[in-house]
Structure 1
Amino acid sequence: NEEVLMVSRIAACFLLAMYIQLLFFQLYTHSYLVEEDDDDEEPEMSFWAALGGLVFVTILVSIFSEYLVSSIDGFTESSGISKTFVGLIILPVVGNAVEHITAVTVAMKNKMDLSMGVAVGSSSQVSLFVVPFIVIYGWAKDIDMTLNFPHFEIMLYILSVIIVTNCVMNGKSNWLEGSLLISTYLMIAVGFWYEKVREFR
């Protein structure tokens, strides 16, 4: 309804403002809190080469993403897998594979701060930037998009935040915490395998 739509749009504006403040905090006012210790490794490519590669890869990803999204309907119909499971489990795993590899690689080098920054930073970016940006973009295009997620997803989101916070608050990690995180993710995947998101009209 109109009330939910307006609350979602206002909340999206606040979330975007929070994301901008987070960037300002990390990059300007308190950058020393998130800086990594300098090492002796020399960069393997120049700034402009890295920037050019980033732009090129971004263009390729945007092109392939169009084909990926357009094939979801056919895939779900032929495989019998729900769109909920594809959108919330399969696509994030495939789409963030590079980030996962990076997080594991730097963790193996005993750079846990950087590893957690990659893992948690990606989730924060989706929550504080991507989702509210989509709501505001829909507002600009006169498309009704809200933050009124199903209760099951909200409960899982809150549970995930609590578990991750408890795991990272002491700045240390061990195999048991890793096992708990993986087990939690698998339980969430099982839940989404059977959960069906209702159709909004």
Structure 2
Amino acid sequence: MAAATIGVVGMSELLVHTPEPTLHTLGLTELFVGIILIPRVGNVAEHLVAAQMAVENQMGLSLEIAMGSSMQIALLVTPALVFASLALGRPMDLVFHPLEPVAMMMAGGIAAFIALDGETNGLEGAQLLAVYGMLGIAFA
């Protein structure tokens, strides 16, 4: 487990520092990469399982996987990183770009709307993708 953790840390460092030259070439901001691209790569296993459950028509489980992952980051990982940064002597605060709280509210609102009736369909999936696309354009 320790070796796997060390491997993940090393790969994360490569993932974060490797795209910098490409960012400048493509004209992408670090905010876009940090909010749109890197989370996709970091949670690819959860996304694959959620998609597999959706294909198997277990939409409730698929929705729980996707929403549980987001809640885990918001309620556990972010505060843990703030405290770890204090312990490491490089304090990190939770000062957000003005668009980030708006994005969180949009995502929370659409997720609550989707989960409210306990069912989902293709139109609701398209709505989720549209919100994601809008946020991607806003952060670009």
Instruction: Provide the C-alpha distance between the structure 2 equivalents of 1:90 and 1:188, rounded to a whole number of angstroms.
Output: 12
Q: 1:87 to 1:102 in 2, by over 3 A?
A: same
Q: TM-score, normalised by structure 1?
A: 0.64
The CA distance in 2 between the partners of 1:58 and 1:111, in whole Å, is: 31
Pairwise CA distance, 1:63: 2.3
Q: 2:117 pairs with 161, 167, 170, which one?
A: 170
Residue 77 of structure 2 aligns with which residue? 130
CA RMSD, Structure 1 to Structure 2 (Å): 1.8
Aligned structure 1 segments of 4 or more residues deviating by more than 4 angstroms:
54-59
Aligned match for 2:24, one of 77, 93, 101: 77
Structure with the larger RCO, 1 or 2 (CA within 8 Å, 6+ apart): 1
How far 1:59 moved relative to its partner?
A: 4.3
Structure 1 unaligned runs (5+)?
A: 1-53, 194-201
Q: Aligned residues, how many?
A: 140
State whether structure 2 residue 43 is matched by structure 1 residue 96: yes
Q: Which amino acid aligns with 2:41?
A: V
- Is 2:52 the counterpart of 1:111? no
- SS in structure 2 opposite 1:189? helix
- TM-superposed deviation, 1:68: 1.5
- The runs of 5 or more residues in structure 2 that have no matched partner are none
Return the alpha-carbon distance in structure 1 between the equivalents of residues 72 and 97 of structure 2.
Answer: 21
> What TM-score, normalized by structure 2, do the two folds share?
0.89
Amino acid paired to 1:181: L
Note if contact 2:114-2:124 (Cα within 8 Å) is conserved in structure 1. yes
